[in-house]
Amino acid sequence: MKTVEIYIAVRASEGRPRPVAPGGAPGVARFVCKTNPSEPSTMASVRLSSAQPAGTQSLAIAFSDGSEAVYSLMWLLDSCPEGFHPQTGERAFDLLSVPDALLLRCADILSDGRLELQWEHEGPASHFSADWLAAHRPGTPRADAAIVTHRYWRAADLPDGAPRHDARAILNDDAALMAWLVDTKKHGLTIVHDIEGKGEASMAIARRIGFLRETNFGQTFEVINKADPNNLAYTSLALALHTDLTNQETPPGYQFLHCITNDAEGGGSVFADGFAMAQVLRDSDPQAFETLARTRIPCRFFDRECDIRTHQPVITLDATGAIQEIRFNAHLVDIIDLPIASVDAWYRAYRAFMRLTRDPAFRLSFRMAAGEMTAFDNRRILHGREAFNPATGNRHLHGCYVDRVEYDSRMRMLDRT
Ligand SMILES: [Fe+2]
């Protein structure tokens, strides 16, 4: 049996945990644990840290590959796999069942290579495999098959148009479905071709991903010229580049527009990458970018049935500062209610971004044909259309949405198989 020593280290009052050399030091407790060298383990030794005063204890773990990581004792208790329900996988551990100041009675490496922690407070011991600890080093995000690097684009970057995917393959082949999902997330926009049938056919494709997002326009919607429209989309007018439903607390994620008929004069489709335009603004006019990212503005949709409002910024950033969402729909911006001290700065920034949406370099224009469906991230890609002449024919798109969370869930489930 190989002997592995576990040491308690005292956190230096001015900073990081201070490992204690073998042999210990005055006031430093010392455990000696045993491991079975025949058991595969990445763990070579474990050092235990405590904090002064109570409540800031941590455990330093060294792995056999030479790496080390420091774990919070409270985090270890809260994350211990034994604290999760064996069937549902949900956390069953009650965080307030343990004291604020944790006291570790013993740390031990078992013969099977697992780390065992026994506590002074009443409750079971905690067990962790070396692999689990290595995979969950502090600050390490969980592996995620839904993460796809965005490829920002201008029109010139897509000389053959948006990437195209075959409807039958998506419907019948999980690998083709995954390839489509990855491509649509990467570029924010793809075209599905050879859809057989009318509205339900494209909805079946969207349902391959997940639940449809229902809104005040219904679970699906018909983009046609209506006699009594409650939305500019339901006219024959041109639509400037926009994202849908910016008045919603969370605008719909992915949008699917299936072309049923498009034989009227005009009616061409236009798309642009909102992330690419926002990045250009960030590089060329950082003050305008910051203003759009920090200033919440009112958006509103109302008709005879509803009055839906929210205050949100045009550009939303994630925790790392990366561009996460664009909300841009001039038709739905309510009366701006900013104080006089900031209103002109906001208009300057908003107009700078709006000018980018009019720049042909960003605008990908094409004409949708019957049997084709555009699929795009409504919180990234701006879409619009040219006016059409309803006296010369029909233009009919059948639409629906699937939220980002459903989309990402499908990618993870496909990755499991
Ligand atoms: Fe729209």
Cα–Cα distance between 9 and 15 in angstroms, integer? 13
Above 50 in pLDDT, residue 89? yes
Ligand 1 center to residue 301 CA distance, Å?
13
The CA 383 to ligand 1 mean position distance, Å, reads 6
Q: What is the DSSP letter of 252?
A: -
Gap from CA of 412 to ligand 1 centroid (Å): 28
Angstrom distance (rounded) from CA 42 to CA 210: 39
User: Tokens 């000696």 sit at which residue?
Assistant: 32
Strand extents, DSSP E, 194-328:
220-223, 239-242, 254-262, 265-266, 269-273, 297-302, 307-312, 315-317, 323-326
For 313-340, the DSSP string reads: -SEEE-TTS-EEEE---GGGB------H
| pTM (predicted TM-score) | 0.84
Q: Are strands 164-166 and 189-193 parallel, antiparallel or unpaired?
A: parallel
- Count other C-beta atoms under 10 Å from residue 341's C-beta: 7
User: CATH 3.60.130.10 in the chain, residues?
Assistant: 155-416
- Position of tokens 């326009």? 217
Kindly give the distance from the C-alpha atom of residue 351 to the centroid of ligand 1, in angstroms, as a whole number: 20
Query: What architecture (CATH level 2) is domain 2-135?
Result: 2-Layer Sandwich (3.30)
Centroid of ligand 1 to alpha carbon of 360 (angstroms): 19
- Integer-rounded Cα Rg, in Å, for the chain is 28
Tell me how far the alpha carbon of residue 54 lies from the centroid of ligand 1, in angstroms: 56
- Tell me the pLDDT of the chain averaged across its residues: 86
Give the span between the Cα atoms of 105 and 268, in whole angstroms.
Answer: 71
Ligand 1 mean position, distance from CA 332 (Å): 11
- 208-255 pLDDT tens trace: 999 999 999 999 998 888 777 888 877 888 899 999 999 999 999 999
Q: How many CB atoms lie within 10 A of CB 253?
A: 21
CA of 191 to the centre of ligand 1 (A): 16
Q: What is the CATH number of domain 155-416?
A: 3.60.130.10
Ligand 1 midpoint to CA 264 (Å): 19
Q: What is the mean pLDDT of residues 271-286?
A: 98
Say how many CA atoms lie within 13 Å of 381 toward its Cβ. Answer: 31
Distance 242 CA to ligand 1 centre (A): 6
pLDDT tens track for 130-171? 888 888 999 998 899 999 999 999 999 999 999 999 999 999
pLDDT score of 199: 74
Q: CATH 3.30.2020.30 spans which residues of the chain?
A: 2-135
Q: From the CA of 232, how far away is ligand 1's center (Å)?
A: 9
